[in-house]
Amino acid sequence: MKSANRFVQLMHRYGFWAALLLVMMLVFQSLAGAFDGAETAVVIPAPVNDEAPTASHSETAIFAGGCFWGVQGVFQHVKGVTNAVSGYAGGTAQTANYDTVSGGNTGHAESVQVTFDPQKVSYGQLLQIYFSVAHNPTELNRQGPDSGTQYRSAIFPLTESQQQVAEAYIAQLNGSKRFAKPLVTRIENKAHFYPAETYHQNFLNDNPDYPYIVINDLPKIKQLQQLFPQQYRSDPVLVN
């Protein structure tokens, strides 16, 4: 019954034939071991400019980088992160629900609100993980199999300091030529965050054998562990 429920959710998200195709891809992967649908992480330098040290033990950031299942899963495995909530940012409260956002006309992006302890991990370090592992910042209005403005690459700074660090880092990365194409990440101000439905929270952790997760998101967790071993935590911090 649990597997059937997962297939129904996948079918609701992508349609019957797309869901069936993903299941077939998973079977092929398990048999041949040759399919990898995830983006390859890019090794990038740390930001030259980061936020100034603070006495605070709690700060919040909002990132959008494709389907929030994988982005949330990545940040849940970062030391110093105390919460990572999937949700919507960029639109209004009236349209902040999955079915409406999926239409691509709400202004919302699937996003993750990250609460972190800046004494343990800085905003700049989170940005480095976001650009390197969590998503591909050179894809315009899409990530992997998902397309539409709701899957755009976007940062929603909550302070002037966050905006300055994000803008400087994007310029630094474009200048470094580490990516094959220019970054398309947007910096969007004054956005409100709205938590997503309960069934979207902790989705990667709760559904590790889900075809979409296996193909697109579990490789990101492995890449996080490989590229950022000092920041990686094996036990994810989950939404209660």
In this structure, the strands spanning 193-195 and 153-155 are unpaired
In this structure, the strands spanning 186-187 and 153-155 are parallel
Would residue 7 show up in a list of annotated catalytic residues for this protein? Answer: no
Find the catalytic residue in 26, 61, 67, 173. 67
Backbone angles phi, psi at 63, to 5 degrees: -130, 145
Mapping DSSP onto H, E and C, the string for 26-70 reads: HHHHHHHCCCCCCCCCCCCCCCCCCCCCCCCCCEEEEEEECCHHH
Is 73 in contact with 236 (CB distance < 8 Å)? yes
Active site members: 67
